[in-house]
Amino acid sequence: MISSLIFISLLALAFTFFAKRILFIKRNILLGRKEKISDNSPKRWQLMLSVAIGQSKMVKRPLAGILHIFVYVGFLFVNIEMLEILLDGIFNTHRLFSFTGGFYTFLINSFEFFAIAVILACIVFLVRRNIGKLKRFHSAEMTKGPKFDANIILFTEIALMSAFLLMNASDAVLQSIGSEHYVNTGKFAISSQLMPLIQNLSEGTLIFIERFAWWFHIVGVLIFMNYVTYSKHLHIFLAFPNVYYSKLSKIGYLPSMESVRKEVALMMSDPYAAPANDSEQDEPEKFGVSDVQDFSWKTLLDAYTCTECGRCTSVCPANLTGKKLSPRKLLMDVRDRSEQIGNQLDAQKSNYKPDGISLLDYIAPEEIWACTTCNACAVACPVNINHTEIIYSLRRYLVMEQSSAPASLNNCFKNIENNGAPWQFSPEDRLLWTEE
């Protein structure tokens, strides 16, 4: 009875913290502008099934892709057993579903296969990250925090899967000696290989090992569940909605601003007409983006979904040629700025006042203008993030609000304004080359 009360209390505490953090993230995402995305639902479901569930973009790099599938599917599949563990903890039972007999044995054996697959895959990932020294895991933005985060997750998954196997092994030994409450569930293929290591221990020691592994596994999963919401592994939850709400327009499509479009259309029809927005009551529309509130909520969802895998940066031609731009860093900066504003809102509540800084204090102009807009980053991203939309928006603000652009672009703009073309030639002289 005491065990059940402790378990229920831990469960309530874990889900309370989890819910609070999820609401915090939701509020931060909704700091962005409203954007209605409801077109072509069948295509969106197809995209989510292919990219988020089928992981079609992950397997373009076969080794990492296949191992990631083992970790992802394996971790989720093994934790189906969490239903039994939760019920056992609440009602103080032991292996509640063992009455299903052979089917139960089959399920646990399947879970154990995935558990060992997760352990092996995580070991390979640890070697690749820490010994293999892959360049995309050691970029400038991958400071101690992001590096440490990845290792924490991998070690945690190894520990949780190992505890699961040790729990089953000690349980099997207790069954073999006829210990009370340990019902016969059949032989478990993988955990049975651990039995020789512990079969000579006393019954009391075996019960302690089994109970310790059980509690370690469930408490570890609850801690992991909460830690993930602070980690890049939040994509475990957000990859599905992020891919579903992907923009279905062609990659690289740059939508025009409605206010600018109306002005141009009016000017083309009647150059002397009054401006389209001539009401003193209407607040002028802001051009581009200077802070996270100017983005749409979908862009902020992109930032929270980023896996920090670095595939975007590894194919970026600007980054590969030594420029400061890293598409991964852009997403990390947007997410960090959203978190900063969210914390300020929580601290100041109704007295919130802007802190006087913006996203442009995180992202340098050199990064913004280094982009070639080739969209290789968006194509490579395994969760359909559109990095270039961030760059387009920041550039639009710098040019249209701050009149700040590289000299070469300013010359181009001036020529277009004066000559109707990017070149410094009068329109009357444009066809002189045909007379040579």
pLDDT tier, 435 (very low <50, low <70, confident <90, very high otherwise): confident
Q: Are 397 and 287 in contact (CB under 8 A)?
A: yes
Indicate if the pLDDT at residue 322 is higher than 60: yes
Within 8 A by CB and 6+ apart from 270, the residues are none
Angstrom distance (rounded) from CA 13 to CA 21 = 12
pTM above 0.75, yes or no: yes
pLDDT tier, 300 (very low <50, low <70, confident <90, very high otherwise): very high
Q: How many CA atoms lie within 13 A of 164 on its CB side?
A: 32
Q: Which two structure tokens, joined as six digits, stand for 363?
A: 């992202």
> Residue 273's pLDDT is what?
62
Q: What is the DSSP letter of 296?
A: B
Q: What is the mean pLDDT of the chain?
A: 89
For the segment 311-339, the average pLDDT, to the nearest whole number, is 94
CA 430 to chain centre: 51
Indicate if the pLDDT at residue 434 is higher than 70: yes
> Residue 282's pLDDT is what?
56
Angstrom distance (rounded) from CA 91 to CA 7 = 10
Secondary structure element (H or E) that encloses residue 60, with its range = none
Indicate if the pLDDT at residue 119 is higher than 60: yes
Indicate if the pLDDT at residue 16 is higher than 90: yes
> Residue 274's pLDDT is what?
61
Would you kindly state where each structural domain of the chain is located, as residue ranges? 2-30+61-244, 286-349+357-426
Burial 209-230 (b: 16+ CB within 10 A, else e): bbeebbbbbbebbbebbbbbbe
> Residue 275's pLDDT is what?
62
Within 8 A by CB and 6+ apart from 195, the residues are 169, 172, 173
Angstrom distance (rounded) from CA 347 to CA 367 = 32
User: Tens digit of pLDDT for each residue in 54-109?
Assistant: 889 998 888 888 999 888 888 778 878 888 999 999 998 888 888 888 899 999 99
> Residue 272's pLDDT is what?
66
Angstrom distance (rounded) from CA 164 to CA 14 = 20
pLDDT tier, 349 (very low <50, low <70, confident <90, very high otherwise): confident
Topology of the domain covering 286-349+357-426: Fumarate Reductase Iron-sulfur Protein; Chain B, domain 2 (1.10.1060)
Q: Which of the residue ranges 174-188, 199-213, 258-272, 279-293 has the most confident prediction, judged by mean pLDDT?
A: 199-213
> Residue 433's pLDDT is what?
78
pLDDT tier, 154 (very low <50, low <70, confident <90, very high otherwise): very high
User: Tens digit of pLDDT for each residue in 132-149?
Assistant: 878 888 888 888 788 889
Within 8 A by CB and 6+ apart from 410, the residues are none
User: Tens digit of pLDDT for each residue in 364-395?
Assistant: 999 999 999 999 999 999 999 999 999 999 99
User: Tens digit of pLDDT for each residue in 19-48?
Assistant: 999 999 999 999 999 887 777 788 999 999
Within 8 A by CB and 6+ apart from 87, the residues are 93, 96
> Residue 278's pLDDT is what?
53
User: Tens digit of pLDDT for each residue in 82-92?
Assistant: 889 999 999 98
